[in-house]
Structure 1
Amino acid sequence: MSTNINASLNSILPAWTAGDRLDSWKEIATYLRREVRTVQLWEKKEGLPVHRHFHQQLGSVYAFRSEVDRWRREVSRHRSSLNESESATASTGERIVIRVLPLKNLRSDAAWDELCKMVAAKTAVELERLNPERLAVLMQEPASAEEPASTTVSESEAGYALRWTAEQDGAALKISAELVCVPTKKAEWSHIYRADRKDWDTAPQQIAQQISQCLWLKMVYRPRNVAPERRRQEMKAREAYLKGRYFWEQRNEEGLKKAVQFFKTAIHEDPGFALPYSGLADSLTLLSFYEILPASQIMPAARKAAVRAVELNPDLAEAHASLADVMLHFDRDWQGAEHEYRRTIQCNPSYALGYHWYSNLLAARGQHDAAHIAIMNALEIDPVSIITLVWAGVTSYLARQFDEAIRHYRSALELAPDFVWAHMYLAQALEQKGGLKDALKEFDTAIRLARGNHCVMAMKGLRTTLLQPMRRWESRTG
């Protein structure tokens, strides 16, 4: 009887529901970007709309994307965001579990063994500091490699395994690390780290920090859909704020100064609206960063605006990103900036600028693999952002991946042929590749478009330097 009822129900569903359906717990979990156990808990405690087919002995589940989206909006409206639900599930034991396998030393040498133990120990400490509420780290000691490690979480619960080896590469130590998803046996991330003998005192800590940063970005806070800030706002204030962001995106003197005025208008219309304070801080920071106005003149006001945004809405990602950027570029407080960038991503893992700006700090520290992951997350969220494409190029350039950098710059120029920063950075990458004529052409274009910007005009000196070997070569061949 129940089978006939299900069949008749399915026959009257509109045709579009076929593409709207999620036909298993796994599909539902994938759609929500969560573990199966999490969505099952949400069904029981949060009312996640899941339907069931009942057969003679077995039952199967399905859901509709439209109903899931509506549920997600309702939960967000009543409970600030799904992040609260995620915190609740974390407190009941929902965690990502990583088993760290012994670091296998491929060279029989006591000194190398000791160095490998240091790397493994420091990596364990860094991983455990990441997010203990959501991440369980199971260290497997070399002595117990033949038997399951004694832990509070069974080995079968480990969703990921960190597999790594150490070997000699000339006079350097080479560590090859790989994160494997246990159920699928698919490598989610891999990288090779090298440490010269002269750097062995600091290498274990540096390698441990880079591995933990990469795992954090790849696993713990992946981009996902979260609700925007929901509060009543004056229409005039919101309109002024959006206009400010439009001009801010242009990244030139005229646009940034217009953005400042629109953000001030939004603050005047609604002094309790946090986003315009963030926009004002971002605009002032860029006016300083691009050397349009002196930092000493405007950065105190940028800090004040960023702090006010955080005070008005402590869970606003944009506010923490603004404060982090002030700390990075003006205060030179890298530790404080890192804390605020991480808070940004925690508040809204779908805020692309949080990953974008965090990549700046990671690249400045020389953590190029983590910086690459961060900027790629930003591009995944907003693949047509001109400045993010450009900064993906800068990140590759700093890692000396010049071909990749050039590809990103040219992608940006396809969307915005007159974007000055794409031309300027493309010129630098082409110069590194030895394409002096093309580099000069891009420098000239950047200088023409710069309209007197100090950052770009400084490139005239590099342009003159490039001209000298070209003229000598032309005089010999002419």
Structure 2
Amino acid sequence: MKTPGLVKFSDFELDVDRYQLRRAGQEVRLEHKPMELLILLAERGGELVARAEIVRALWGANSFRDTENGLNTVVRKIRIALDEDPANPQYVKTVKGKGYRLDGIVAPPAAESQSGPTTAVRVIVLPFANMTGDPAQDSFCDALAAETSATLGALRPGQFMVIARTTAARYRRTEKSIAEIARELGVDYVLEGSLTQEGERFRILAQLIRCADQVQVWGHAHEPMSRGALDIQKEIGAALVAEVTPTLTEQQQMMLARRLPVEPAAHDAYLRGRYFWYRRVHFDAAFAAHHAIGGEDFFRSRAYFESAVELDPTYALGYVGLSNFHGSTVVHGLYPPEQGWPLARVAAERALELDPGLPEAHHAMAAVHYFYDWDWRKAEAEFLEALRLNPSYPEARRLYARLLLAVGREPEGHAQMKRAELIDPLAFKGSRAFGLVLSGRHDEVMKEYFSGERSERSPLIYQLLATAFEIKGLFKEAMEATTEALVSCGGHTRAQAIRAQWESGGHDAVLRWLLEDLLVRHRMGYTSPLLLAEIYARLARPSEMFHWLEAALADRSSRLCELRSNPWFQRYLSAGQFRSVIKRAGF
């Protein structure tokens, strides 16, 4: 079931997003483990949660603690906080020999359950139609819609929920009516637009439709394109706010002005750079690095981001783009950490200096703290600030959820994943699958996605299925998912080579071929030592695995921040040598 942001039982309120328990409006203090268990029970809406599942969620699958007494202590602390009689509890009920459930949950009204945890007005910005006849303008049209979504999401945090660009992209060139889109996504307003060309002149046309009665509440045309790309976001924001509330406040007008550059051409460059960055960043970084999936889109984005800051050195979003580029290329295995992350930090700091209220800048700094500094406290503070400034920011929610899962705060992590699903309902499957893989819930990944339509699977879905199948010992399915993922990324030659290895020697032959490929790449240039540690783990060769884990620590390999939840190392969690590595990675 979808977890509401606010769970009510009796005169208690459990605010999942704030990680807070209140009674009659007053906060009730609750320690970390009891709060995690209470959230987990609330997630199930009154259903029984088995003791084994609770132990795994609170202490991990390979805990060395006395979890029997630990769980009893956690339950006792919850009951004390709820002022319950332990002999006759009213809320946290024990099912002897089975587990626990939370009774007395008040079901939200029907309207609330459909719209999510807030009463925010829901808006979707559809991909702008390219009517120029020039395919080269497709990227600009997509990026203009994405940036308009980001602007609106930050305009009235908590009042507007802007459906993410990845879900909106499913409606590119759709024949569905506004009414059908509104019904499928439960949105209140739809913004649609187009780019046309007459001779040398471009025009941007846009209209804002109120779904309830199909009335156009605003419409306009702009030319030339570069200036129109700026003006249209200002006018769309003003029109939407005027429709919902009386007027834009002075603070909101300043926010819009800060977000947009002085030089219109800088904005065009940023939009094009963001388009190419988005095309590449949503791959599984581990899979992409193992299989040397090219970073051409990343490098194309860099050229545009650099152009944006050259055209306007005061444009904060341009520096955010550069920070994203430098960080992402390291995580995806294209550069060593010491080469990319210091540059990512400098760019993020410059963006924050130019605009401390820019959500994307806080998200960029959070990524530096998470992947490079391994400073969970600072990373969390930056994620929360980004989400305070723009609650409709799915990338921030997804990466924040990964942090929570990586440090063992699973109920909170899955709550954030579910909030992101409200914002990005159609394109969220891969993100949630990633969360399930990090949580070790591989059966759920296979159950939820293996039976789906092939046409609906993105490269990320295939990449994650490959991991889930291999972990569960379904090696033929893992090979097929791997080759499907590679084909969907254009890696036909590599897919054929892996299939040939499978046919000649099965799963072991594939792994040995992958190892040899990694060693060759390591001799020729930079290859993250964590990749070699992972392949040796998959081959069950711990001596070599620990050698390369030590090298990964020295390298500050970015994905070590998710070492405890990395699926390839789960069998080694109980080893003292591995616990030493985990400790030195900041856990």
With normalisation by structure 1, the TM-score equals: 0.52
Aligned mates of 1:413, 1:383 — CA distance in 2? 18
CA contact (8 A) 1:426 1:439 kept: yes
1:237 to 266, 288, 291: 266
1:271 to 277, 288, 313: 313
Query: Structure 1 residues 469, 238: closer, same or farther in 2, change over 3 A?
Result: closer
Aligned mates of 2:387, 2:344 — CA distance in 1? 21
- Deviation by residue 1:418-456 (Cα, 9 ceiling, x = unmatched): x3x43222111122344322211122344566689xxx9
Question: Alpha-carbon deviation of 1:402?
Answer: 2.7
What does residue range 163-174 of structure 1 map to in structure 2 within 5 Å?
163-165=91-93, 169=97, 174=99
Matched residue, 1:127: none
SS of 2:401's partner is helix
Aligned mates of 1:315, 1:187 — CA distance in 2? 30
Matched residue, 2:284: none
Greater Cα offset, 331-340 or 389-398: 389-398
Matched residue, 2:455: 414
CA contact (8 A) 2:323 2:347 kept: yes
2:481 to 442, 446, 453: 442
What does residue range 5-84 of structure 1 map to in structure 2 within 5 Å?
none
Aligned mates of 1:412, 1:303 — CA distance in 2? 41
Query: Structure 1 residues 244, 413: closer, same or farther in 2, change over 3 A?
Result: farther
1:373 equivalent to 2:415? Answer yes
CA contact (8 A) 1:431 1:439 kept: yes
Aligned mates of 2:24, 2:269 — CA distance in 1? 42
Which residue identity is paired with 1:164? V
Aligned mates of 1:113, 1:380 — CA distance in 2? 35
Matched residue, 2:352: 310
Query: Structure 1 residues 111, 414: closer, same or farther in 2, change over 3 A?
Result: closer
CA contact (8 A) 1:244 1:263 kept: yes
Aligned mates of 2:507, 2:71 — CA distance in 1? 49
SS of 2:301's partner is helix
Aligned mates of 1:358, 1:348 — CA distance in 2? 14
- Deviation by residue 1:46-97 (Cα, 9 ceiling, x = unmatched): xxxxxxxxxxxxxxxxxxxxxxxxxxxxxxxxxxxxxxxxxxxxxxxxx993
CA contact (8 A) 2:93 2:103 kept: no
CA contact (8 A) 1:317 1:344 kept: yes
Query: Structure 1 residues 223, 378: closer, same or farther in 2, change over 3 A?
Result: farther
Query: Structure 1 residues 285, 99: closer, same or farther in 2, change over 3 A?
Result: closer
2:429 to 389, 393, 405: 389
- Deviation by residue 1:282-320 (Cα, 9 ceiling, x = unmatched): 121110111111111111000111112122211211111
Aligned mates of 1:303, 1:412 — CA distance in 2? 41
1:141 equivalent to 2:65? Answer no
What does residue range 94-105 of structure 1 map to in structure 2 within 5 Å?
97=25
SS of 1:272's partner is coil
SS of 2:465's partner is helix
CA contact (8 A) 2:323 2:344 kept: yes
Which residue identity is paired with 2:92? W
- Deviation by residue 1:189-209 (Cα, 9 ceiling, x = unmatched): xxxxxxxxxxxxxxxxxxxxx
Aligned mates of 2:456, 2:476 — CA distance in 1? 24
CA contact (8 A) 1:223 1:350 kept: no
**Cα-Cα RMSD:** 4.7
1:180 equivalent to 2:209? Answer no
Query: Structure 1 residues 114, 383: closer, same or farther in 2, change over 3 A?
Result: closer
SS of 2:335's partner is coil
Question: Alpha-carbon deviation of 1:101?
Answer: 12
1:425 equivalent to 2:501? Answer no
Query: Structure 1 residues 360, 115: closer, same or farther in 2, change over 3 A?
Result: closer
- Deviation by residue 1:247-286 (Cα, 9 ceiling, x = unmatched): 0112150111111111111111122221121121112111
Aligned mates of 1:276, 1:443 — CA distance in 2? 35
Aligned mates of 1:308, 1:276 — CA distance in 2? 10
SS of 2:357's partner is coil
1:405 equivalent to 2:445? Answer yes
CA contact (8 A) 1:409 1:425 kept: no
Aligned mates of 1:281, 1:412 — CA distance in 2? 36
Matched residue, 2:277: 248
Matched residue, 2:303: 261
Which residue identity is paired with 2:437? Y
SS of 1:225's partner is strand
Aligned mates of 1:401, 1:259 — CA distance in 2? 34
Question: Alpha-carbon deviation of 1:372?
Answer: 1.9
Query: Structure 1 residues 384, 113: closer, same or farther in 2, change over 3 A?
Result: closer
CA contact (8 A) 1:277 1:305 kept: yes
Query: Structure 1 residues 308, 467: closer, same or farther in 2, change over 3 A?
Result: same
Which residue identity is paired with 2:439? A
CA contact (8 A) 2:79 2:92 kept: no
What does residue range 458-477 of structure 1 map to in structure 2 within 5 Å?
467-468=507-508
Which residue identity is paired with 1:316? L
Query: Structure 1 residues 305, 378: closer, same or farther in 2, change over 3 A?
Result: same
SS of 1:337's partner is helix
CA contact (8 A) 2:330 2:336 kept: yes
Aligned mates of 1:403, 1:116 — CA distance in 2? 28
Question: Alpha-carbon deviation of 1:142?
Answer: 4.1
Query: Structure 1 residues 101, 261: closer, same or farther in 2, change over 3 A?
Result: closer
SS of 2:364's partner is helix
Aligned mates of 1:357, 1:267 — CA distance in 2? 26
Which has the greater radius of gyration? 1
Q: How many residues align?
A: 300
Query: Structure 1 residues 335, 179: closer, same or farther in 2, change over 3 A?
Result: farther
Which residue identity is paired with 1:280? L
Which residue identity is paired with 2:309? I
Question: Alpha-carbon deviation of 1:468?
Answer: 4.0
Question: Alpha-carbon deviation of 1:163?
Answer: 4.2
SS of 2:344's partner is helix
- Deviation by residue 1:375-417 (Cα, 9 ceiling, x = unmatched): 22222212344xx432211111223333442435887973565
With normalisation by structure 2, the TM-score equals: 0.43
Aligned mates of 1:223, 1:431 — CA distance in 2? 44
Question: Alpha-carbon deviation of 1:374?
Answer: 1.2
Query: Structure 1 residues 295, 325: closer, same or farther in 2, change over 3 A?
Result: same
CA contact (8 A) 1:393 1:409 kept: no
